[in-house]
Chain A
């Protein structure tokens, strides 16, 4: 499999070639005018993309399950610059889409798509991928992985304010329909200094191999070490999130035997920080506990502040539910909800959400139905927070004196 260094111009050439051969290229782009919001969109050139920026507002699922689609062969597409959690989300949905009913339209899009992820810096505060068996450089669902060798500088705090201001100007002037005086200056002020990027690229699947073959320069030892250092720092960052989110204790230790076994499996060194491993072990205990605690007293207080808006499911990269309408030649899918809901109260609905992700799915397909991207927490209008709920469940499910977070 190819291992290479790709410069920004290599990637730009790749995009141009793909677009030239009528492939659709999808990448995170800036949403509105500020730095903290991006979303996936079709790009024509690399300059349009914002690789390695904030987590896009919505997940990738809409590119495999669009709101409206025709029953015609789908165009080949390449996703460029998704964080690894979003690729993992697509992979987790694959199991659902091919379980009891084989969704042809999903499968066709999956077959026609190559996903190139960029390792994440793990710096988002509400992320917890480490607790659900993933990491900032994991390759589940990924065809090729790029690890940044030079970290792009984010905008300094003073410019964030400017960017925010700019966004309001754009909103005020009705979504860019009218240019306003000073817009160009503001835009430039919000722009951080550009620096050409380089990535260590590795193919994970034959599809990724086909995309990368013959591109870039060979990877040297120094750059290999830099890529390793990036991944290590990112994993530490996720681990500190897990402690801050109380999914793991700062001094969390594993059972000595387990630790030795894991270290042996990792070639003498624990790849993940201990806090991550400990949080993951705790989450892995949930399916069994949840199955026994359908009627636990906890569900009712947990659901109180839920406003029922469903934003958590809308933005979730692994929430598979949709409703289908058939028109003459096309299908329209929209997120959930038709007619009276099958579960009558908010408590039942919240319980189903947690059960589906952390009990029903894992008992069928082994991994949990969550990538720890944290979108649901950010989108929640009631201030609910999945890691917080998980933290409570993990404590309830912990066997006594296990060294799990208390």
Chain B
């Protein structure tokens, strides 16, 4: 923690960055006798405030989302340093890969991670029930894309097979059963687009869901419109989704959107040998033509 704060102080003092985006405790969350119960994103613009910065297993939020150029109220602050876990750095790599930001426009403070909770109000201890699905089988606990890396490597999080079990259960279903499952899950959607707004990789200036001349996607929360929206989003995220589960966390209706994202990511991995990694120099399948790509669907 001290290492991170000192680094933040140095970056701000030297004028390398104008703002450090990290995590802070929420003082008003939780009963006073229990102490602060939650963490939230923090924007430190003044070196005297660096002691607000913390990092522990409650820091589930993907702060790379704040680098999204769509957030003009933040780009206006000036150059940012952002605290990223190894998994979050994959979103930064995605933004660089797709030309949204330049590598030199951001200072990455990598943190070594021992897993995070599903919801910042849980923890800070990590249990098998509390650990986030995104931590299952994590290979990014040691950051690979960073300018500075801080903290010792904590022990690995408790093992959970929750998500692979759910995916396997979906795989075992017949197409008709699977369709019933998704129809029922997506029928709850109210089309608030929280999933899109919170997504670090949703940066389109105008989303297809907002186009009404012509209207590609029925904009009302009808079964037809809901399926069209979520299928379009899942396919648009193919090979781009970094599986940070922010959409699932943000969904006010509790739709298991992460399953959809993970399923598509798994397909891209199998078919194209590509995973949205933290290396921005590896092109994504959607953005590159390779003669060895399979094309058995063209008959």
Contact = CB atoms under 8 A, between A and B. Distances in A.
A303 B26 CA distance: 16
Interface residues of B, number: 49
A387 interface: yes
Interface string A352-391: 0000000000000000000000000001011111011000
Nearest to B162: A172
Interface in B100-126: 120
Contact of A304 (B73, B220, B250): B73
B198 interface: yes
B205 to A, nearest CB: 9
Nearest to A125: B31
Contact of A309 (B71, B194, B220): B194
A388 to B, nearest CB: 5
B43 interface: yes
B232 interface: no
A376 to B, nearest CB: 11
A244 B28 contact: yes
Nearest to B166: A172
B85 interface: no
B41 interface: yes
A327 B220 contact: yes
A246 B28 contact: yes
Given A339-B212, A345-B72, A177 B219 contact: no
B228 interface: no
Interface stretch (B1-9, B140-148, B183-191, B265-273): B183-191
Contacts of B74: 304
A307 B250 contact: yes
A100 B16 CA distance: 53
B198 A307 contact: yes
A69 to B, nearest CB: 11
Given A164-B129, A246-B28, A310-B194, A305 B71 contact: no
B197 interface: yes
A383 B212 CA distance: 33
A244 B219 CA distance: 42
Interface stretch (B32-40, B236-244, B290-298): B32-40
A325 B28 contact: no
A172 B165 contact: yes
B181 interface: yes
A381 B30 contact: no
B252 A315 contact: yes
Contact of A338 (B39, B71, B77, B219): B219
A347 B71 CA distance: 10
Interface string B70-88: 0111100100000000000
Chief secondary structure at chain B's binding surface: mixed
Interface residues of A, number: 56
B190 A67 contact: yes
A338 B29 CA distance: 33
A67 B188 CA distance: 10
A308 interface: yes
A406 interface: no
Given A165-B129, A175-B184, A339-B210, A383 B38 contact: yes
B210 A340 contact: yes
Given A245-B28, A383-B39, A332 B194 contact: no
A41 B30 CA distance: 28
A334 B212 contact: no
A242 B28 CA distance: 11
Interface in A171-219: 171-175, 177-178
Interface string B178-209: 00010011000011111001100000001000
B69 interface: no
Contacts of B192: 309-311, 313-314, 334-337
Contact of B197 (A125, A164, A307): A307
B40 A305 contact: yes
Contact of B210 (A57, A333, A338): A338
A68 interface: yes
B220 A68 contact: yes
Given A332-B222, A338-B210, A310 B193 contact: yes
Contacts of A168: 129, 162
B252 to A, nearest CB: 5
Nearest to B213: A339
Given A67-B190, A68-B220, A345-B72, A173 B210 contact: no
Contacts of A327: 220, 222
B176 interface: no
B269 to A, nearest CB: 23
Contact of B73 (A164, A310, A311, A347): A347
29 contacts: A68-B221, A125-B30, A164-B129, A174-B169, A174-B181, A244-B31, A246-B28, A303-B73, A305-B41, A305-B42, A307-B250, A308-B71, A308-B197, A309-B192, A310-B194, A313-B192, A314-B194, A332-B222, A334-B219, A337-B193, A338-B212, A339-B210, A340-B210, A345-B72, A345-B73, A346-B73, A382-B41, A383-B29, A383-B41
Interface of B: 26, 28-32, 38-43, 61, 65, 71-74, 77, 120, 129, 162, 165-166, 169-170, 181, 184-185, 190-194, 197-198, 206, 210, 212, 218-222, 246, 249-250, 252, 256
Closest 9 CB pairs of A and B: A383-B40, A332-B220, A309-B194, A325-B220, A345-B73, A308-B197, A304-B43, A305-B41, A346-B73
Interface of A: 57-58, 67-68, 125-126, 164-165, 168, 171-175, 177-178, 244-246, 300-301, 303-305, 307-311, 313-315, 323, 325, 327, 332-340, 344-347, 379, 381-385, 387-388
Given A301-B43, A383-B38, 17 more contacts: A67-B220, A125-B31, A174-B170, A175-B184, A300-B73, A305-B43, A309-B198, A310-B192, A310-B197, A325-B218, A325-B219, A327-B222, A335-B190, A336-B192, A340-B206, A379-B252, A383-B120
